[in-house]
Chains A and B, each alone.
Chain A
Amino acid sequence: MNMPPAASDLNLCLCHSCSMTCDMTDNPHECERCGAPLHRRKTNSLARTWAFMFTALAFYVPANLLPVMNTKMLGNGADSTIMSGVLEFWAAGAWDIALIIFIASIAVPGIKFVALTFLLMSVHRSSLWASKERSQLYRFVEVIGYWSMLDVIVVALVAALVKFNALADIEPRAGILFFGLVVVFTMLAAMSFDPRLIWDEKRENPQNEEVMDEVASH
Chain B
Amino acid sequence: MANTDQLIICEHCDCVYEKVTLVEHQKTLCTCCGAVLQRHNRLTVEQRLALTCAALMLWIFANVYPVMTISLKGIKNSATLWDSVLALSHGPITFIALVAAIAMIIAPIFQLLLLIWVLGFALSHQRSPGFKFCMRWLEALRPWSMLEVCFLGAMVAVIKLAGFLHVLPGIGLFALAVLSLVVIRIAGRDIRELWDIL
Contacts and interface: CB of A to CB of B under 8 A. Distances in A.
Main DSSP-derived SS at the B contact region: helix
Nearest to A159: B87
Contacts of A129: none
B32 A164 contact: no
A22 B7 CA distance: 10
B12 A14 contact: no
Contacts of B34: 132, 135-136
A97 interface: yes
User: What is the size category of the interface that chain A forms with chain B?
Assistant: 35 or more
A153 B100 contact: yes
B118 to A, nearest CB: 13
B149 A184 contact: no
A153 B135 contact: no
Contact of A20 (B15, B139, B195): B195
Contacts of A16: 11, 139
A147 B149 contact: yes
Interface stretch (B43-51, B52-60, B156-164, B177-185): B156-164
A204 B113 CA distance: 45
Contacts of A104: 152
Interface in A1-42: 1, 3-8, 10, 12-14, 16-23, 33-36
21 contacts: A6-B16, A8-B14, A17-B136, A17-B139, A19-B11, A20-B195, A97-B160, A131-B32, A146-B103, A149-B146, A153-B100, A156-B97, A157-B68, A160-B86, A161-B68, A161-B77, A161-B157, A172-B88, A172-B90, A177-B93, A180-B100
